[in-house]
Chain A
C-alpha cells in the first residue's frame, strides 16, 4: 500500500476565511479522490482527479492534482460552517482495487 501524507491534521478557521489541505506521496497514483465525512456518517465522495495537472472546481472548492500525479490539494474559498468535517484524500493505483488513505484533516469553521 502506498503512503499518503495529509496536512495539516487539524484546521480551525473563522467563517469567510480560506483554507488549503495538502496530500503528498512519493508514489504515483492513477487517480486521487477527496472525501468529506461528517460525524456519525460515511465519507462522501467530493471529486476524483485522474490527469496530472488537472484542476476541478465544485462551487467554493478547488481540487488540483499535481503534474506528476503524486500530490493533490483542496482549497476552500470563503469557508462556511457547513464545510466543517473530516477531509480525506485517497489514492488509487491500477494494480489493485484498494485505495491508500491519508490520515485525514479535521476542519472546523467557526461562525
Chain B
C-alpha cells in the first residue's frame, strides 16, 4: 500500500543535542511537509518542499532545518533542541494540485530531557 512512513516513532534526546527525524513516502507526491503538533492542538506547519523547492514558514525557528535529497525522502534536523521543542512531528505529502488533500505519516514523538 502507498503510504507515508516516519522513523523513529519515538525519539528521546538531550537538551542541546542535535536530532534528525526521517520521513519517506511511496505515493510519489511532489510536495512534502513537516508539521509540529503539541497536545491536541492543530498541526503547525514548519516548512514544505515542492520537489526540491524549499518553502520556510516565517515563524519557524532557525533551529529547525530540513533536507530533501530525493522525491521519496525528507529529513527534519533540530540543531539544538530545547525543552519547548518536545512535541509530535508530523510529515505529510500531497500531489501537484494546489490546495489538495494532504496525507500524514504516523508521526514521531520527540522527548527532550
Interface centre among A31, A45, A93, A97 (most CB of B within 10 A): A97
Cα–Cα, bound, A93→B106 (Å): 25
Q: Chain B 90-109 against A: per-residue CB contact (8 Å), 1 yes, 0 no?
A: 10101000111111111101
Contact between chains at A101 and B42 (CB < 8 Å): yes
Cβ of A21 under 8 Å from chain B: no
B45, B101, B109: the one contacting A45 at CB < 8 Å is: B101
A residues 76-111 near B (Cβ < 8 Å) are: 86, 88, 90, 92-99, 101-104, 106
Cα–Cα, bound, A40→B106 (Å): 8
| B interface size (C-beta, 8 A) | 25
Q: Distance in Å from the Cβ of A90 to the closest Cβ of chain B? A: 8
Cα–Cα, bound, A56→B46 (Å): 31
Contact between chains at A104 and B99 (CB < 8 Å): no
Chain A interface size, under 10 / 10 to 19 / 20 to 34 / 35 or more: 20 to 34
Contact between chains at A42 and B99 (CB < 8 Å): no
Q: B residues within 8 Å of A by Cβ?
A: 4, 6, 31, 40-43, 45, 48, 50, 88, 90, 92, 94, 98-107, 109
Q: A residues within 8 Å of B by Cβ?
A: 29-31, 33, 35, 40-45, 48, 86, 88, 90, 92-99, 101-104, 106
